[in-house]
Amino acid sequence: MRSGWAFVLCRFLVGFAEGPFLPIVSLITSSWYTKEEAPLRMAIWHAGNIGSSCVSGLLAAGIQLGMEGTLGIRGWKWFLIIEGKCPSAEWTTSYLTFEGQAASVC
């Protein structure tokens, strides 16, 4: 990304894709759990969502301020680089864990 409007456009597209997630979580939770269990499950999900939002904001601020100018790259670019690598590392780790679980079950 070379300009601010490209970042805004990418952020809009990510938000557009993530928008339906909350109603889907509510629908799935209400269809899988009983009326007595669903509120607790939703409360746990919302608390985790709020907590992760707080941590991600602090992490983003630390990356942008702490890595500003490192290797001649702006802080917001470092943020996008690191943010793009974390989900791929998480997927690889969960995939390897899943394969190990599948091998131990069979």
pLDDT digits (tens, 9 = 90+) for 32-73: 888 898 889 889 988 988 888 888 888 888 888 888 888 888
Give the confidence band of 99 by pLDDT, cuts at 50, 70, 90.
Answer: low
pTM as predicted: 0.52
Phi, psi for 57 (deg, rounded to 5): -65, -45
DSSP state of 34: -
User: Is the sign of the CA dihedral 49, 99, 84, 78 positive or negative?
Assistant: positive
Q: How far is CA 35 from CA 21, 32, 40, 42, 50, in A?
A: 21, 10, 10, 11, 23
